[in-house]
Amino acid sequence: MTFVVASPSLSVRDARIVFGDRVVARDLTLDFPGGRTTCLLGRSGVGKTSLLRWLAGLLPGVTRAQPLAYMAQRDLLLPWLDILDNVLLGYRLRGDAATLEAARPRARALLTDVGLGDRMCDRPEALSAGMRQRAALARTLCEDRPVILMDEPFAHLDAVTRLDLQDLSARLLLARTVVLVTHDPLEALRLGHQVRVLSGSPFSVGSAIEPAGSVPRDPADPVLLGLQARLIAELRSAA
């Protein structure tokens, strides 16, 4: 049983997000409730990733509000490090030997949690795409930051692997403040305590949809499928 300190909420006030020459969002005010997963749903190019990068402080001239962990669409594992060292990358980069040593058991436990307990000494190239993304998930969690940003983390995986990873993530991300960007309505509905649709240019954010039940929700649930149909209609009409 892990003891999790209450995760803070994340607020955006009157933000202006610019990506290159394009104004992606203007006067954006948005709240992400603490300890919950918020899924941002939108079509490709609407500015989901820009919003996430803005939150992460990765856009030029932007500093992020608080420490966070970031998980991208690609696993971004370093090919010259084994899986365990990849999971510990943040500690290695910050260069504090004591905290690195202290984080080692945690990294091992997380790798066991994601089902890679016996692959810690392998290099990423020896792993399948699903395993690599699980390792990336372990690395994200190992950072142990209260806020986690995820940019279409399962988009590259096949359907079954994606469902498995969604289940795994929902379990491991419990009680953290998560902002997950996706273009897959089913993914948003399975994982999000709250789902918000982004549409238009500059984008506006739709009101919060809060499906019933706990995450990860059953993909065969008729209520969920009904909501999915509604979301798809909303996404299509927004174009």
Partner 1 sequence: MRPLITALGLLLAWEALARATGVPVYILPPPSRVVVVLIERFDLLIEQAAWTAAEMVLGLVLGLFLGAMLAIVFAASAGWRRWALPLVIISQAIPVIAIAPLLVLWLGYGMASKVAMAALVIFFPVVSALYDGLRRTDPGWLDLAQTMDASPRAVLLQIRLPAALPAFASGARIAAAVAPIGAVIGEWVGASAGLGFLMTQSLARGQTPLAFAALVLLCLLGLALYHATDWAARRLVPWQSLQGE
Binding mask 124-163 toward partner 1 (x if CB under 8 A, else -) reads -x-----------------x--------------------
- C-alpha 199/C-alpha 35 separation (Å) is 25
- E strand or H helix at 25, and its extent? strand 22-32
Q: Which stretch binds partner 1 (CB under 8 A): 26-34, 54-62, 164-172, 202-210?
A: 54-62
Q: Which residues contact 231 (CB under 8 A, 6 or more apart)?
A: 41, 185, 188, 189, 195, 197, 209
CB of 179 to partner 1, least distance (A): 13
Rama region for 76: left / alpha / beta (φ>0; ψ in -120 to 50; rest): left
CB 19 within 8 A of CB 45: no
Give the count of beta carbons closer than 10 Å to the beta carbon of residue 218. Answer: 11
Strand partners, 10: 32
CB of 176 to partner 1, least distance (A): 15
Q: Beta strands of 74-170 (E only): which ranges?
A: 147-151
- C-alpha 17/C-alpha 55 separation (Å) is 10
Hey, which residues between 82 and 101 contact partner 1 (CB under 8 A)?
89-90, 92-95
Q: Could you say which DSSP state residue 174 is in?
A: T
Number of residues that bind partner 1 (CB under 8 A): 24
Q: Which stretch binds partner 1 (CB under 8 A): 56-64, 113-121, 156-164, 224-232?
A: 56-64
Kindly state whether residue 57 participates in binding partner 1, applying the rule CB under 8 A: yes
Measured from the CB atom, the residue of 143 and 187 that comes closer to partner 1 is: 143
CB of 147 to partner 1, least distance (A): 11
Q: Which stretch binds partner 1 (CB under 8 A): 67-75, 106-114, 194-202, 229-237?
A: 67-75
Q: Could you say which DSSP state residue 153 is in?
A: T
Q: Which stretch binds partner 1 (CB under 8 A): 70-78, 110-118, 127-135, 173-181?
A: 70-78
When binding is defined by CB under 8 A, the residue of 30, 56, 131, 198 that contacts partner 1 is 56
Q: Which residues bind partner 1 (CB under 8 A)?
A: 53, 56-58, 64, 67-70, 72, 74, 76, 78-80, 89-90, 92-95, 123, 125, 143
